[in-house]
């Protein structure tokens, strides 16, 4: 398996309060240079439903949405070996230094998108942050066992995260 490197920076503002961590951007996301850009990934659709607002297709509109809702995005892996976008194949991880975001923001809650992101956070990052993550369902099209409705219900915590 090839070694893949995270090719774009974390997205955050100094007033970000929510940090959402995935594993490693998909090939489509790396190609387009932003998070959750595979057309079948349900992340943006879920957020539209949770926050009851249209986000738009452009990266700029996605960034505007994230800024408005004080959401930061990054991933647990700086690099890893991975087969295409299959989280189950991830190995030989070099983790991202999440403290880079934490020291420059007002992060109150950390969420991981899927079991693998949660596992990697717990194994490689938690010891450095001492902040428990909240594991959400993966919005990946590979996670077809979870309906869009269940994803939306699960992600509603983001809209209440200041009360977690």
Distance linking the first and last C-alpha atoms of the chain: 39
And the tokens for 159? 């809209």
Q: What is the pLDDT of residues 38-50, one digit of tens each?
A: 999 999 999 999 9
User: From edge to edge, which strands make up the β-sheet containing 109-113?
Assistant: 71-75, 18-22, 109-113, 133-136
Domains of the chain are 3-159 (3.40.470.10)
And the tokens for 49? 């439903």
User: With 60 as the cut, is the pLDDT of residue 164 above it?
Assistant: no
Q: How far is CA 49 from CA 91, 96, 130, 153, 154, in A?
A: 33, 29, 31, 9, 11
Q: Give the pTM.
A: 0.94
| Average pLDDT rounded to a whole number, residues 15-20 | 97
């Amino acid at each position: 398996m090839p070694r893949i490197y995270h090719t774009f920076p974390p997205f955050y503002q100094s007033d970000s309060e929510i940090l959402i961590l995935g594993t490693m951007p998909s090939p489509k996301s790396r190609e387009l240079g932003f998070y959750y850009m595979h057309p079948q990934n349900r992340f943006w659709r879920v957020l539209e439903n949770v926050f009851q607002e249209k986000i738009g297709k452009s990266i700029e509109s996605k960034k505007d949405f994230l800024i408005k809702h004080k959401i930061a995005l990054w991933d647990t892996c700086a690099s890893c070996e991975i087969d295409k976008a299959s989280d189950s194949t991830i190995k030989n991880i070099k983790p991202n230094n999440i403290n880079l975001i934490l020291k420059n923001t007002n992060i109150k809650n950390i969420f991981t998108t899927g079991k693998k992101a949660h596992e990697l956070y717990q194994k490689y990052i938690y010891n450095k942050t001492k902040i428990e993550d909240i594991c959400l369902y993966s919005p990946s099209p590979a996670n077809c066992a979870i309906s869009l409705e269940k994803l939306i219900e699960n992600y509603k915590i983001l809209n209440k995260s200041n009360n977690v």
